[in-house]
């Protein structure tokens, strides 16, 4: 797996999201943020996540969607439970994944981070293929960018977020990228 100079990863299926913008001038990418997402919550394998990130979600298709109507979010990557890797935003651009956030005294983590979504839920174990692809992706990104830290969404927005949650095995993941 290789992260190219244009910010694209060769092993990912690219699905463009408009929910991004330019990074602040001169900003280095120093942080990876691991998230979890499922749409509808607790359901896997559908097209809800892709539709959300591409502004094509039918807000009336599920009762939960009413609570998120109109939000414009994205992430750089999504790793499905099958291990399929999708990329929505080139790493050279700022994806809208972190929201109000801070890490090591710096706010607006979107400006200096890459967001990786795992299809899942906080309280459920993640799938073996996800750990394998996440490790490969993290190694590729750490080779391409000066990544100093890899954290969960819960670490940069602890008052708002709990993902990737207790279902994510941080020790296993960290051992896999050494």
Q: Is 56 exposed, middle or buried (0-12, 13-18, 19+ CB in 10 A)?
A: exposed
Q: How long a stretch of residues is the chain?
A: 178
- Token pair in block for residue 143: 């080779």
DSSP string of 57-68, one letter each residue: --TTSSGGGGGG
Query: CA–CA separation, 174 vs 11, rounded Å?
Result: 21
Find out whether 91 and 76 touch, Cβ atoms under 8 Å: yes
Active-site option among 22, 117, 119, 128: 117
Asked if 153 and 160 touch (Cβ cutoff 8 Å), the reply is no
Strand partners, 103: 106
CA distance 178 to 175: 6
Specify whether 117 is catalytic: yes
Q: Which residues are catalytic?
A: 117
């Amino acid at each position: 797996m290789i992260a190219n100079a244009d910010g694209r990863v060769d092993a990912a299926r690219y699905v463009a999201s408009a929910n991004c913008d330019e990074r602040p001038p001169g900003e280095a990418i120093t942080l990876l943020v691991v998230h979890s997402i499922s749409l509808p919550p607790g359901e896997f394998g559908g097209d809800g996540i892709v539709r959300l990130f591409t502004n094509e979600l039918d807000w009336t298709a599920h009762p939960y969607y009413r609570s998120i109507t109109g939000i414009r979010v994205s992430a750089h990557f999504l790793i499905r439970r099958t291990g399929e890797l999708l990329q929505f935003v080139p790493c050279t651009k700022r994806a809208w994944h972190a929201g109000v956030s801070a890490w090591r005294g710096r706010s607006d983590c979107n400006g200096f981070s890459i967001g990786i979504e795992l299809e899942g839920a906080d309280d459920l174990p993640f799938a073996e293929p996800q750990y394998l692809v996440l490790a490969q992706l993290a190694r590729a990104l750490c080779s391409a960018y000066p990544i100093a830290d890899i954290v969960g969404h819960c670490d940069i927005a602890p008052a708002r977020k709990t993902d990737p949650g207790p279902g994510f095995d941080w020790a296993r993941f960290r051992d896999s990228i050494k």
